[in-house]
Amino acid sequence: MFFFIKKSEDGLWMKCASCNDITYRKQLVANSYVCAKCGNYFRIGSKEYINLIADEGSFTEYFSEIKPADPLKFYDVKKYAKKLKEARKKTGNNDAFICGLCSINGVAAALGALNFAFMGGSMGSVVGEKISLLAEKAAGEKLPLIIVSASGGARMQEGILSLMQMAKTSGALAKLAEAKLPFISVLTNPTTGGVSASFAFLGDIIMSEPKALIGFAGPRVIEQTIRQKLPEGFQRAEFLLEKGQIDMIVERAELKKKISELLEFLKGGKS
């Protein structure tokens, strides 16, 4: 199971919601936000992933000034504008994707991460725009691209504009591929909907954290549609690896090492 690090847990001690063990916060951070007792992965945001992967002090953020609009004046139980305001206050970010340039064990790279705490990491116009700009920047500066995904999919509050981001991000990644630069996609729990159906599965290498939920539609919808019971572990990283849909499962503590090994390999430095 996966749990948010809640604001109220920002103190010195943190409780694992899976085994109830209480850990010193610094210890948990040193252990890559994985419970040392039971192995539970705490859910973390963009900044934590960037800190885990980028060399210390090497990350320069780009495109942070881009803010979402509300062209449809959408509301369901709440106005979209109000939800955005709350998400901004909660995360301190303008939208659900943080990106920039950094080095990873000395290799220069473009790096971005979705933040599930911002409206479920959903992809609206801003997320799509930033991913596309980052891919274009990587292509322009001849850098590899790494994106960490954690998302429920397209942002329904932006309707068709959200769905268009699937094509837009895919197009930007095609340019990166034309420039023969690698894209490593890192899937975390959960990566579903329009995100899994676009850029997240376009990686030259697709890796996932253990036990992450990865899929397009939810299992209940699929069961109702095909009128069959789904197999055990369906839509988990291990199942997808077995079926050849992802390339590897990487422990969170090993992400940086694995990514930098692959970058070295892909640029022809090592066998």
- What residues line the site for Zn ion (CB under 5 A)? 16, 18-19, 21, 35, 37-38, 40
Q: How far is the CB of 41 from Zn ion (least distance, A)?
A: 10
Nearer to Zn ion, 35 or 131 (CB): 35
**How far is the C-alpha of 87 from the C-alpha of 117, rounded, in Å?**
8
Whether the Cβ atoms of residue 122 and residue 90 lie closer than 8 Å to each other: no
74, with CB counted inside 10 A (0-12, 13-18, 19+), is middle
Nearer to Zn ion, 11 or 57 (CB): 11
Q: How far is the CB of 45 from Zn ion (least distance, A)?
A: 20
Q: How far is the CB of 186 from Zn ion (least distance, A)?
A: 23
Q: How far is the CB of 265 from Zn ion (least distance, A)?
A: 34
Please name the amino acid found at residue 132.
S
Q: What is the DSSP letter of 205?
A: E
Nearer to Zn ion, 17 or 66 (CB): 17
Nearer to Zn ion, 18 or 31 (CB): 18
Task: Find all residues with CB under 8 Å of 185, minimum gap 6, and list them.
Answer: 146, 147, 149, 199, 200, 201, 202, 203, 205, 206, 207
Query: Cα angle at 217 between 216 and 219, to 5 degrees?
Result: 120
Q: How far is the CB of 34 from Zn ion (least distance, A)?
A: 9
Closest C-alpha among 234, 4, 232 to residue 121: 4
Nearer to Zn ion, 20 or 224 (CB): 20
Closest C-alpha among 134, 60, 133, 121 to residue 95: 121
Nearer to Zn ion, 21 or 70 (CB): 21
User: What strands, in cross-sheet order, belong to the sheet with 183-191?
Assistant: 60-62, 97-104, 107-114, 145-151, 183-191, 205-208, 248-249
Q: How far is the CB of 23 from Zn ion (least distance, A)?
A: 8
Task: Find all residues with CB under 8 Å of 239, minimum gap 6, and list them.
Answer: 231, 233
Nearer to Zn ion, 27 or 224 (CB): 27
Nearer to Zn ion, 31 or 51 (CB): 31
Q: How far is the CB of 31 from Zn ion (least distance, A)?
A: 11
Q: How far is the CB of 5 from Zn ion (least distance, A)?
A: 13
Run of H or E residues at 13: strand 13-15
Whether the Cβ atoms of residue 19 and residue 37 lie closer than 8 Å to each other: yes
Task: Find all residues with CB under 8 Å of 83, minimum gap 6, and list them.
Answer: 119, 157
